[in-house]
Amino acid sequence: MTTRRSILKTAIGGLALAGGGLIGRLARADLPAGTIESGTLETLPGKQPLLKRSFRPPNFETPVAYFNDVITPNERFFVRWHLMNIPQVAAADWRLAVGGEGATQEFVLSFEQLRQEFEPVEVVAVCQCSGNRRGFSDPHVPGVEWGHGAMGNARWKGARLKDILARAGLRKESVEIAFNGADSPPLEATPDFVKSIPAWKALDENTLVAYEMNGAPLPHWNGFPARIVVPGWTATYWMKQVISIRALTQPLSSFWMNTAYRIPKGKFPLIDRFVSQESDTTTPITEMVVNSLITNLSDGQRVASGSAVVVKGLAWDGGYGIRRVEVSIDEGRTWERTELGTDLGRYSFRPWSFNFRPRGPGRVAVLARASNAQGSTQTDQLIFNGPGYHNNVIQKVVIDIA
């Protein structure tokens, strides 16, 4: 177990971050200015300084300036856990149990077997918490007060879940595939974190049991030795330290499926459905909504007049593909297309950039808006929901031309 003593405190002022300015000034009615964009930087073992949202359980987000890289380095990747008992797992001791009533074979895999006995595949995919940007919800909602950084983009390598399920002899009656991790609640009263996905999503060739992240073993905090990767879907299904995979012929009944991570039906422009878990009014969250982030500018940043302003950022969605990203410098009256950068695949962050010449000194609000191949676009107004999920309100960064 990690103790408070093993955490190295890092002074906010001692940090040089690329891209100018860590502290944004986002005014919100019910939180002091700067609460969300600033926060305390602390260093978990094996990580670079991240913004601490809570310590027990550990919830740390990635500062925006780190997103100037399209791939989020492992040391800078955000950390989110629900439960407090997070064991240190040694690869040699780790076992993955595969079975369930929807499987005809039960078996156990060692780390070496997972690596050797299944074809290794790679996918670049965004892992984004359903509640990313919850801290900007107005009115305020309870939950971890995430800013923009409860997300990251990595090259994941692992075995296809469908290949593992093929060895288990998946029966056609299987409706869901359930995952459990090695972490556990400190009290019996808290339900264990167990999640399921529909069988069709588990059989998608991009859904992996990943054992490498950006060419290295997964960091402890991101699920060493192996985690589930569900490209396109929010990170709640990306089970870390996975120790059990079960094929279910009945929908999983658990707090984390029936109560948490649900959204109102019909409010978001989503396509993927999770029919076996739907109620009359709510559905489990599925794919990510189209979104973008300005990465090289922050609120209040000074830019010298007379020179061109470069705006850089990222865009992503649930895997349909980014069609365009536009920027407005006149409060949304007119929009201009940005230039899209390298395409690392439909589940990856897509970089974009834009240049403009400011008219003269003064404040300029820079707005960015991404649209995907399904014709979905970021929203002007928050689609309010109680848990604060799927915030893709068009971002506004106000810079100072001086």
Ligand X SMILES: Nc1nc2c(c(=O)[nH]1)N[C@H]1C(S)=C(S)[C@@H](COP(=O)(O)O)O[C@H]1N2
Pick one of 72, 74, 222, 372: the residue that binds ligand X (CB under 6 A).
222
Q: Which is nearer to Mo ion, 234 or 372 (CB)?
A: 234
The window from 46-54, 79-87, 268-276, 303-311 that contacts ligand X (CB under 6 A) reads 79-87
Q: Which is nearer to ligand X, 149 or 198 (CB)?
A: 149
Q: What is the 3-state secondary structure (H, E, C) of 114-167?
A: HHHCCCEEEEEEEEECCCCCHHHCCCCCCCCCCCCCCEEEEEEEEEEHHHHHHH
The rounded distance, in Å, linking the Cα atoms of 401 and 365 is 11
CB-based contact 27:38 (threshold 8 Å)? no
The rounded distance, in Å, linking the Cα atoms of 25 and 18 is 18
Pick one of 47, 52, 53, 80: the residue that binds ligand X (CB under 6 A).
80
- In 3D space, the residue among 218, 216, 256, 220 whose CA is nearest the CA of residue 236 turns out to be 256
Residue 180 CB, nearest distance to ligand X (Å)?
8
The rounded distance, in Å, linking the Cα atoms of 341 and 308 is 19
Check residue 78 for interaction with ligand X (CB under 6 A): yes
Residue 329 interaction partner, one of Mo ion, ligand X, none, beta carbon < 5-8 Å per kind: none
Residue 57 CB, nearest distance to ligand X (Å)?
7
Under 8 Å CB-to-CB from 42, ≥6 apart: which residues?
A: 7, 8, 9, 10, 49, 50, 52, 60
- In 3D space, the residue among 27, 25, 13 whose CA is nearest the CA of residue 301 turns out to be 25
Residues of span 218-277 touching Mo ion by CB under 5 A: 235-236
Residue 333 CB, nearest distance to ligand X (Å)?
36
Check residue 156 for interaction with ligand X (CB under 6 A): no
The count of chain residues that interact with ligand X, using the rule CB under 6 A, is 20
| Residues paired with 352 in a beta bridge | 313, 340
Residue 131 CB, nearest distance to Mo ion (Å)?
6
Element containing residue 111 per DSSP (H, E) = helix 111-116
Q: How many CA atoms lie within 13 A of 187 on its CB side?
A: 2
Q: What is the 3-state secondary structure (H, E, C) of 179-241?
A: EEECCECCCCCCCCCEEEEEHHHHCCCCCEEEEEECCEECCHHHCCCCEEECCCECHHHCCCC
Check residue 94 for interaction with ligand X (CB under 6 A): no
- In 3D space, the residue among 60, 221, 78 whose CA is nearest the CA of residue 154 turns out to be 78
Residues of span 95-154 touching ligand X by CB under 6 A: 127, 129
Pick one of 44, 79, 314, 322: the residue that binds ligand X (CB under 6 A).
79
Check residue 82 for interaction with ligand X (CB under 6 A): yes
Handedness of CA 236, 112, 115, 2 (dihedral sign): positive
Q: Which is nearer to ligand X, 183 or 204 (CB)?
A: 183
Residue 79 interaction partner, one of ligand X, Mo ion, none, beta carbon < 5-8 Å per kind: ligand X
Q: Which is nearer to Mo ion, 174 or 277 (CB)?
A: 277
Check residue 317 for interaction with ligand X (CB under 6 A): no
Residue 13 CB, nearest distance to ligand X (Å)?
26
Check residue 183 for interaction with ligand X (CB under 6 A): yes
Residue 65: strand, helix, or coil: helix
Overall residue count recorded for the chain in this entry: 402
Q: Which is nearer to ligand X, 154 or 159 (CB)?
A: 154
- In 3D space, the residue among 56, 52, 101 whose CA is nearest the CA of residue 78 turns out to be 52
Per-residue mark of binding to Mo ion, 126-165 (x: CB under 5 A): ---x------------------------------------
The count of chain residues that interact with Mo ion, using the rule CB under 5 A, is 3
Check residue 352 for interaction with ligand X (CB under 6 A): no
Check residue 244 for interaction with ligand X (CB under 6 A): no
Check residue 81 for interaction with ligand X (CB under 6 A): yes
Measure Cα distances from 314 to 71, 122, 324, 369 in Å. 11, 21, 11, 10
Chain residues in the site for ligand X (CB under 6 A): 77-83, 127, 129, 181, 183, 193, 222-223, 235-236, 238-241
Chain residues in the site for Mo ion (CB under 5 A): 129, 235-236
